[in-house]
Amino acid sequence: MYKIDNHKVSDAARAVSHLDEAGYERLYRQSLEQPDQFWAEQAERFLTWEKPWSKVHQSDLSKGEAAWFIDGKLNVSVNCIDRHLAERGDATAIIWEGDNPEDDAHISYRQLHEKVCRLANVLKARGIKKGDRVCLYMPMIPEAAYAMLACARIGAVHSVVFGGFSPDAVRDRILDSDCQAVITADEGVRGGKAVALKTSVEKALKDCPNVHTVVTVRRTGADIPWNENRDIWYHEATAAVSADCPAEAMDSEDPLFILYTSGSTGKPKGVLHTTGGYLLMASMTHHYVFDYHPGEVYWCTADVGWITGHSYIVYGPLCNGATTLLFEGVPTYPDASRCWQVIDKHQVNIFYTAPTALRALMAKGNEPVKSSSRASLRLLGTVGEPINPEAWEWYFDVVGERRCPIVDTWWQTETGAAMITPLPGSTDLKPGSATRPFFGVEPALYDPEGNELEGATSGNLVIKRSWPSQIRTVYGDHQRLVDTYFSTYKGVYFTGDGARRDEDGYYWITGRVDDVLNVSGHRIGTAEVESALVLHDAVAEAAVVGCPHDIKGQCLYVYVSPMNGVTPSDELVKELKSFVADQVGAFARPEYIQWAPGLPKTRSGKIMRRILRKIACDELDTLGDTSTLADPSVVEELIANRLNQA
Ligand code: ATP
Ligand code: MG
């Protein structure tokens, strides 16, 4: 077996951290034993309220209902901007790093205030009011953050759609949440290529009669389609309105945004988050998990089109008065050293990215990393998928030079904020484990019959009590919320993920429950076998699914992307099969290994195993929703070369 070294809390991390080991234990215990008192204290400390709440919390998980800070009033944009003006109005709120390494900008809190107020006034002038939905289809430019905050300022509900999605995907999301306005840009720029955003909006809007306003930011100056009755330029409209906009006092339970899930497991769900509880958890986790200290530069590489971009580029950091870096480009442009160059250029202290990006960068070798200093780095983070221990060690050794703790944060669009995660000054790290629950989060493992499992064991991951940033509904379909998350097990939230808990109470996410395999009575998580495969020098990336087998019940069907320069061969297939058997156990020896030049991934970089499973089982007529695939052509290739054909 691959040897995993555990890492004790480092003295350096403990010295600066907001909490030490005992601090975590004390606060965690309080958060479960006296939840109302705990959350009231946190809500007072982290947020500025216009009117206090009358009741901290009320929930009924059997109906999927939750309410936090009932009757309390606050405005998210005031918390993220106005209240910082007196003390740090001239401090940098947003560092923008363009796709081209020569383009960047610093936006102070005072400038942010003006930008947000102006755009909010534009929306108001176009008749957008509290409760109306606004679709944001934006590149990674500061205006994306302005737009989110402008909506929040007037109580409009934003629905950010990732700028890489097709016109059809935009249309479906606009229609599903009945948006009245769209904010976009003429084009986006990523990896040196233009992305035709406004043209896509135009196509999408053919079927969206209720959209009466499109605000377009001029990013590249390209020629774009224009509709005089509906379209306005961002720069013209914002110049024509006042630079001050009073903020709407919102109820704690008023909707803040809708965000569609990534679509890894099926048709995306319009997750609705509300105001007070969401903002509290976003800001609190940003403070404790990233151990943010005033003046530090913090960089999350996600796109604002995903929940990670919402909570950890915009709302959490800005609520804490932090300096947040917003990156327009991709980690491999102009070359594989880009992230590390950006870290040096802006003296980034905290860096948060996804395993898929790390694996891609790791495949390029250590040289691009070593070409930078990274001396400013203090803390690293990861999110999105289980991180294989080998990638974790690489991140720790090569990127962080064994100096920076890694926070592996497990959470979901539906949870709004990190739920199972190390705290850098309090938690000993184990590569590949998301470690322990955040305050107020009570995880448990259930068997398929709904019995809670005790001690060191594996099972289905559930959350036993409501938390403030919990999903409130699936927009327009509360029954889907109840069916998806609150029906599998009565009275608890079902995450859809499987996990193992070890003897120290640490959680290891093993993958989606639907992806867990049962081979000759052995339950095998996809993450475990994939982690083993990528240890082999010939393997860049691997995806494991199950398909029916007469004797074993299920067998393993493995897709392997070879490393650059590796020639696939039958010998190598044999070798890899033995390798898995050695690493994991003989029962896990793969039945099939198919070479995969590319794997089907969501736009956020997650492997879509449900499609791979269909291909492995030769069930091609029921591939399901593929609209969120990054590159559909990958699927054709895999189908053509599948190994289990009838
Ligand atoms: P959909 O719900 O539409 O199928 P999705 O689940 O991929 O899409 P997200 O909400 O973006 O959409 O992703 C949440 C999921 O990502 C989690 O349920 C989990 O499977 C995985 N995940 C996120 N962070 C981690 C982590 N640190 N370790 C392991 N898995 C993680
Ligand atoms: Mg999900």
* Token code pair at residue 449: 């019959």
Contact 555, 549 (CB under 8 A): yes
Ligand nearest to C-alpha 508 = 1
What is the reported pLDDT for 2?
Answer: 57
CA of 506 to the centre of ligand 1 (A): 18
The atom number, within ligand 1, closest to the CA of 306 reads: 11
Q: How far apart are CA 419 and CA 471, in angstroms?
A: 13
Number of other residues whose CB lies within 10 A of the CB of residue 195: 17
The preferred substitution site among 285, 353, 413 for testing ligand 1, maximizing ligand atoms within 8 Å of CB, is 413
For ligand 1, say whether the CB of 286 is within 6 Å of any of its atoms. no
Determine phi and psi for 11, rounding to 5 degrees.
-60, -40
For ligand 1, say whether the CB of 265 is within 6 Å of any of its atoms. yes
Q: How far apart are CA 551 and CA 572, in angstroms?
A: 26
The atom number, within ligand 1, closest to the CA of 413 reads: 10
* pLDDT tens digits, one per residue of 318-330: 999 999 999 999 9
Nearest of 95, 104, 93, 46 to residue 72 by alpha carbon: 46
What is the reported pLDDT for 265?
Answer: 78
Q: How far apart are CA 421 and CA 442, in angstroms?
A: 13
Nearest of 313, 325, 327 to residue 282 by alpha carbon: 313
Parallel, antiparallel or unpaired: strands 65-70 and 55-60: antiparallel
Give start and end residues of each alpha helix (H) in 306-353. 307-309, 316-319, 338-346
For ligand 1, say whether the CB of 512 is within 6 Å of any of its atoms. yes
Q: What is the CA radius of gyration of the chain?
A: 24
What is the reported pLDDT for 126?
Answer: 98
Q: How far apart are CA 300 and CA 381, in angstroms?
A: 9
Determine phi and psi for 634, rounding to 5 degrees.
-55, -40
Contact 232, 186 (CB under 8 A): no
CB contact set of 2 (below 8 Å; sequence gap of 6+): 389, 390, 531, 532, 535, 583
For ligand 1, say whether the CB of 311 is within 6 Å of any of its atoms. no
For ligand 1, say whether the CB of 508 is within 6 Å of any of its atoms. no
Determine phi and psi for 20, rounding to 5 degrees.
-105, -170
For ligand 1, say whether the CB of 606 is within 6 Å of any of its atoms. yes
Residue whose CA is closest, atom 16 of ligand 1?
Answer: 384
Ligand nearest to C-alpha 353 = 1
The atom number, within ligand 1, closest to the CA of 261 reads: 3
Query: Distance of CA 523 to CAs 498, 510, 529, Å?
Result: 11, 11, 12
Q: How far apart are CA 130 and CA 118, in angstroms?
A: 17
Q: Binding site: residue ranges?
A: 190-193, 308, 384-386, 408-413, 497, 512, 520, 523, 534, 536, 539
Nearest of 644, 412, 442 to residue 548 by alpha carbon: 644
Residue whose CA is closest, atom 26 of ligand 1?
Answer: 410
Report helix angle 35-46 to 276-289, nearest 10.
Answer: 80
Q: How far apart are CA 492 and CA 61, in angstroms?
A: 6
Ligand nearest to C-alpha 513 = 1
> Does the N-terminal peptide bond of residue 101 adopt cis geometry, omega within 30 degrees of 0?
no
Nearest of 645, 310, 271 to residue 474 by alpha carbon: 271
Q: How far apart are CA 541 and CA 545, in angstroms?
A: 14
H-helix or E-strand spanning residue 2 = none
For ligand 1, say whether the CB of 409 is within 6 Å of any of its atoms. yes
Provide the strand spans (E) within 319-371.
323-327, 350-353
End-to-end CA distance of the chain: 36
For ligand 1, say whether the CB of 461 is within 6 Å of any of its atoms. no
The atom number, within ligand 1, closest to the CA of 527 reads: 29
What is the reported pLDDT for 646?
Answer: 74
Nearest of 418, 420, 459, 450 to residue 436 by alpha carbon: 420
Q: How far is CA 640 from the centre of its chain?
A: 32
Contact 530, 588 (CB under 8 A): no
Q: Give the HSE-up count for residue 355: Cα atoms under 13 Å, Cβ half-sphere.
A: 29
Residue whose CA is closest, atom 28 of ligand 1?
Answer: 386
Q: How far apart are CA 487 and CA 197, in angstroms?
A: 39
Q: How far apart are CA 76 and CA 54, in angstroms?
A: 19
Q: How far apart are CA 460 and CA 445, in angstroms?
A: 5
Q: Binding site for CoA: residue ranges?
A: 190-193, 308, 520
The preferred substitution site among 165, 259, 303, 385 for testing ligand 1, maximizing ligand atoms within 8 Å of CB, is 385
For ligand 1, say whether the CB of 268 is within 6 Å of any of its atoms. yes
Q: How far apart are CA 262 and CA 600, in angstroms?
A: 13
Q: How far apart are CA 119 and CA 154, in angstroms?
A: 10
Ligand nearest to C-alpha 264 = 1
Query: Distance of CA 355 to CAs 228, 325, 436, 443, Å?
Result: 44, 19, 19, 23
* pLDDT tens digits, one per residue of 20-41: 999 999 999 999 999 999 999 9
For ligand 1, say whether the CB of 408 is within 6 Å of any of its atoms. yes
What is the reported pLDDT for 324?
Answer: 98
Residue whose CA is closest, atom 12 of ligand 1?
Answer: 262
Secondary structure letter of residue 63 according to DSSP: G
Q: How far apart are CA 346 and CA 326, in angstroms?
A: 11
For ligand 1, say whether the CB of 610 is within 6 Å of any of its atoms. no
Q: Exposed, middle or buried: residue 110 (CB in 10 Å: 0-12, 13-18, 19+)? A: middle
Q: How far apart are CA 624 and CA 135, in angstroms?
A: 25
Determine phi and psi for 348, rounding to 5 degrees.
-70, 135
The atom number, within ligand 1, closest to the CA of 602 reads: 7
Number of other residues whose CB lies within 10 A of the CB of residue 3: 5
Contact 234, 143 (CB under 8 A): yes
* Token code pair at residue 637: 């290739």
Residue whose CA is closest, atom 2 of ligand 1?
Answer: 261
For ligand 1, say whether the CB of 497 is within 6 Å of any of its atoms. yes
For ligand 1, say whether the CB of 324 is within 6 Å of any of its atoms. no
Low-confidence ranges of the chain (pLDDT < 70): 1-4
CA of 310 to the centre of ligand 1 (A): 15
The atom number, within ligand 1, closest to the CA of 512 reads: 20
The preferred substitution site among 161, 172, 259, 262 for testing ligand 1, maximizing ligand atoms within 8 Å of CB, is 262
H-helix or E-strand spanning residue 542 = strand 539-549
For ligand 1, say whether the CB of 603 is within 6 Å of any of its atoms. no
| pTM of this prediction exceeds 0.90 | yes
Contact 261, 413 (CB under 8 A): yes
For ligand 1, say whether the CB of 413 is within 6 Å of any of its atoms. yes
Q: How far is CA 355 from the centre of its chain?
A: 11
What is the reported pLDDT for 503?
Answer: 97
Contact 445, 438 (CB under 8 A): no
